[in-house]
Structures are given as structure tokens and as C-alpha cells.
Structure 1
């Protein structure tokens, strides 16, 4: 779907679908979401630039993601999306920046894009005054959303750790404790996945801003230099925070796995002690279960109860020994 955003007499004009070349050239922002071949061709013919295909956007080498063609900059990075819906992922988005137009090519909708569109409806002359300003505004919204996501992820991780350690320290039933540890592990797994994808987005934005800093041409206006510096500073702080969350998640994961290992060792130790305690009675029962013709104990009047008593005593003695050693 092709959507164009233009400021007409101080108001935002939004149009969908293929339009005439003059209307496309007059638009400050052209947003291509899952574009058709006809929409791509219309944008290319109107702006005289090549819209990258989905396969080209997925290439990972830097030269295929950040480059210049004539008077346009092609900037591609992976962006996190779908965290609020619970089905998150990363999608490549390309920003094609020219002197008067910004073209975005995407196949998913991060929440930051919806937030920026809402802001444009309230303040169109301010946010849509130039193509580079729109692009930086989108970057700022992405950074703000990532900061919110990392804050929420940190809160989820703290909640999971409290649940796991409280269950481990308490006297909860085994099934309840296992459920709490399982919930904590799933939460930490999601935290790790979201953090890694957020770090990927932050890294991509950092590369784009570094590339823009090396270009230093008329496509980036001087009044936006301060915004770029602010973005770089915010990105660095978020990268540090994402690394902190990742390290904390790994520590908590190791701690929870250690707790699970201790519980499993306790269960195995109990079975081991029980097995060792049953070995002497088993030996005695095996001896008196032999079918030899001449066994003196067979004629004893109290042979059967005596054998039972010996087996019970031989089972109890190892248990007392293990308790004295502190193994139980």
C-alpha cells in the first residue's frame, strides 16, 4: 500500500494508492507498506530513483544497506516490531532520502510509525517541514519506543527473578515451585529475545547515523545537526542499558538453572540413599531365598521373624548413618 503525506495550507493531507507524478513529487513522505509492483513503478518513475526489493533489503553487508545513488541516500536497518502484541520480530526497513522526499519501504508496522503518524496529524507543519526532518522524527520515535520496551523488559525480568527466588527460599510445594521456576525461565527467554532484537535495531540506527555524519551534504540540513547528536547520545545510553539487561538476564538464567540443579540433586540423593538402605535387606532376603537342602535356619522356630527383624535393622542403620553425616 502506498500512502503519501503532504502539508497543504497548514494541514496534513494523506492519500492512499497510486497517484499522478506531480502529486507524488509534492509529497514529503511516501510510505510503501507491502508495495505492489505498480506502486513501486509509480514511485520510481515519479522520483526517478530505484526502490529496493525485499530481497535486497535483507542483505546484511553494509555496502548493500548504506549507500548513495546520485542525489539519494539509501539507508536500511532491522527494526523491532510486535512486542505489544506478543508476536515480535525484526523487519528490514529502507529509508530513501532525497532533497525533497522521503520514501520508506517496509513489510511490517512498528508501533513507532503509528505513533509518528499520530503526531503528524497534530503538528503537520512542524514534523513534515522537510524530508530529513521526517526521517529523524521517525528515528526519534523508534528510540523512544525502544526505551519504553527496555524499561518494561527490565520490570518483567525483576518480577521473574523475585518469583523464582521467593519460591526457592520458601517452603512451597514442589509442583508450585516448579511452576514458578518454569514461568521465570520463559520470562527470561522472552527478555533475552526482545533485548537482542532491540540491540539489533539500536546497532542499525547507530550505523545509519554514522553514515549520515560522514556524508555531510545538503540532504541533511544544518538545523538537524543537534537532533542527530541527541540521537547518537540516546542510542549509546540505550545500547549500554540493553547490554546491562542482557548480562543480568544471563546471570538470572544461570542462577535459576542452578536452583533447578540443586533440586534435582536433592531428589537424586534421596533415591540414592533409599537404594543404599535397601541393599542389606535385599542381601539377607537373597541369602534366605536360596534353595539349598541343608540350611540350619530352616528348622528354627523363630527363623522367619528373626530374618524380618534383621532386614529392618539393616535398613534403618544406613539411614541413621547418612543423617549423622548430614547427607539427609
Structure 2
């Protein structure tokens, strides 16, 4: 889908669908979401530049993701999306920064894009003043969105860890304890997934900002250059916070797995004690189950009670011994 954002007389005009060359040339921001070949051709003919294909956007080499052709910068990085829906992932987004327009090429919709579009409608003169200003303000929205995501998963991780440790200390049913520990493992797994993809996004932004810093003399207007420094500081702090959360998640994951191992060891110990306690009675029962012709106890009136008593005593003695040793 082709969407253009144009500011005329202080008012924002948003157009969707096929457009003529004049409309594309007046636009400050051109957003291509899963573009067709016809839409790509319209933008390329109107702006006289080459739109990267989806295969080119997937390249991992820095030279393929960050480069300059004439006065146009081509900047590609992976971005996190789909956190709210539970089907999160990373998608490559390309920013084509020219002197007159910013072109974004994407195949998914991070929430930051929708929020930024709404902000543009409220303050078009500020958000859509210049192409480089549009891109930097969009980066600000992406960073703010990532900060909110990291804050939320940090709170989720704290709640999950507290519930897991509280359950481990309390004397509750095994089914409830297993459910709480399972929920903690799922939450910690989601935290690890989100922080990893968020860090990937932040590192991609960091590379773009480093490239912009080197090209800011010709690509970024003077009034917007302060935004780059602010974004660099914010991205650096979020990378450190994401790494901290990832390390904390790994620590808590080890702790929860340790709790699970302790619970499993207790169950195995119970089965081991039960099997050891039942071995002597089994031996006695096996002896009196033999089919010998001469067994004195078979003709004895107290033979049956005696055999049962021996079985009980032989089962109780190992348990008493284990308890005195502190094994139970």
C-alpha cells in the first residue's frame, strides 16, 4: 500500500493508493507497506531513485544496509513488531532519505509507525517539516516504544519471579506449584525473546545513527542535528537496560530451573525410600512363596501373623534408620 504525507498551508494531507508524479514529488513522507511492483515503479519514476527489493533488504552486510547513492541515503535495519499480539518478530525496514522526501519500505507494521502517523496529524508542521526531521522524529517514536516495551516486560518478569519464589517457599499443592513454575518459565522465555529482538533493533538504530553522524553535514539539516545526539544517548542507555534485563532473565531462569530440580529430587527421594523400604518385605514374601514340601511355618497356627509381622518390621526399620540419619 502506498501512503503519502504532504503538508500544505500548515495542514496535513494523507493520500493512499496510486498517485500521480506531482503528488509524489510534493510529499514529505512516502510510506510503502508491502508495495506492489507498480507502486515501486511510481515512486522510482517520480523521485528518480532505486527502491531496494525485499531480498536486498534482507542482506546482513553493513555495505548492503547502509550506503549512499549521490545525495540519497539508504538505511536498513531490523525492527521489532507484534509484541501486543503475542506473535512478535523482526522485520527489515528501509529508510530512503533524499533532499525532498523520506521513503520508508516495510513489510510489517510496528506500532511506532501507527502512533507516529497519529502524531503527524496532530502536529504536522513539527513532525513533517523536513525529510530528515521526519525520519529522526520517527526514530524517537521507535525508541520511546522500545522503552515502554522494556519497562513492561521488566514488570512482568518481576511478578513472575516473585510468584515463583513465593510458591517455592509456601506449602501448596503440587499442581499449583507446578503451574506457577511453568508460568514463570514461559514469562522468562518471552522476556528473553523480546529483549533479544529489542537489542537487535537498538543495535540497528545505533548503526544508522553512526552512519548519519558521518553524513550529517549533507544529509541532516542543522536544526535537526541535535536530535541525533539525543537519539544516540537514548539508544545507548536502552541497550544497556536491555542487556541488564537479559542477564536478570537468565539468572531467574537458572533459579527457577534449580527450584524445579529440587522438587524433582524430592520426588525421586520419596520413590527411592519407598522402594528400599519394600525390598525386605518382598524378600520375606518371596521366601514364603516357595513351593518346598517341608516348610515348618506352613503347619504353624501363628505362621501367617508372624510372616506379616516380619514384613511390617522389615519395612519400618529402614524408614526409622533414614529418619535418624536425616535423609527424610
Query: What TM-score results when the alignment is normalised by the length of structure 1?
Result: 0.98
Give the aligned partner of residue 74 of structure 1: 74
Residue 209 of structure 1, CA deviation: 0.4
Instruction: State how far apart, in whole Å, the 2-side matches of 1:161 and 1:249 are.
Output: 9
Instruction: State how far apart, in whole Å, the 2-side matches of 1:251 and 1:234 are.
Output: 26
Given that residues 284 and 311 in structure 2 are in contact (C-alpha distance below 8 angstroms), is that contact kept between their aligned partners in structure 1?
yes
Instruction: State how far apart, in whole Å, the 1-side matches of 2:327 and 2:60 are.
Output: 56
Structure 1 portions without partners, runs of 5+:
none
Are residue 99 (structure 1) and residue 114 (structure 2) matched? no
Instruction: State how far apart, in whole Å, the 1-side matches of 2:192 and 2:65 are.
Output: 26
Given that residues 6 and 12 in structure 1 are in contact (C-alpha distance below 8 angstroms), is that contact kept between their aligned partners in structure 2?
yes
Given that residues 112 and 145 in structure 1 are in contact (C-alpha distance below 8 angstroms), is that contact kept between their aligned partners in structure 2?
yes
Give the aligned partner of residue 24 of structure 1: 24
Q: Secondary structure at the match of 1:25?
A: helix
Q: Kindly report which structure 2 residues correspond to 1:136-285, keeping only aligned pairs within 5 A, or say none.
A: 136-285=136-285
Residue 298 of structure 1, CA deviation: 2.5
Instruction: State how far apart, in whole Å, the 1-side matches of 2:260 and 2:28 are.
Output: 57
Instruction: State how far apart, in whole Å, the 2-side matches of 1:136 and 1:144 are.
Output: 12
Residue 217 of structure 1, CA deviation: 3.2
Q: Render the CA deviation track for 1:162-203: whole Å, top value 9, x for unaligned.
A: 110111100110001111111111111111111111011001
Instruction: State how far apart, in whole Å, the 2-side matches of 1:267 and 1:325 are.
Output: 19
Give the aligned partner of residue 11 of structure 1: 11
Instruction: State how far apart, in whole Å, the 2-side matches of 1:293 and 1:85 are.
Output: 77
Are residue 299 (structure 1) and residue 299 (structure 2) matched? yes
Residue 85 of structure 1, CA deviation: 2.0
Given that residues 102 and 131 in structure 2 are in contact (C-alpha distance below 8 angstroms), is that contact kept between their aligned partners in structure 1?
yes
Given that residues 67 and 73 in structure 1 are in contact (C-alpha distance below 8 angstroms), is that contact kept between their aligned partners in structure 2?
yes
Instruction: State how far apart, in whole Å, the 2-side matches of 1:287 and 1:159 are.
Output: 58
Residue 69 of structure 1, CA deviation: 1.4
Given that residues 150 and 242 in structure 1 are in contact (C-alpha distance below 8 angstroms), is that contact kept between their aligned partners in structure 2?
yes
- Point out 4+ residue stretches in structure 1 off by more than 3 angstroms: none
Instruction: State how far apart, in whole Å, the 2-side matches of 1:96 and 1:274 are.
Output: 71
Q: Render the CA deviation track for 1:56-96: whole Å, top value 9, x for unaligned.
A: 11111111111111221100011111112222111110000
Given that residues 99 and 218 in structure 1 are in contact (C-alpha distance below 8 angstroms), is that contact kept between their aligned partners in structure 2?
no
Query: What TM-score results when the alignment is normalised by the length of structure 2?
Result: 0.98
Given that residues 280 and 311 in structure 2 are in contact (C-alpha distance below 8 angstroms), is that contact kept between their aligned partners in structure 1?
yes
Given that residues 212 and 219 in structure 2 are in contact (C-alpha distance below 8 angstroms), is that contact kept between their aligned partners in structure 1?
no
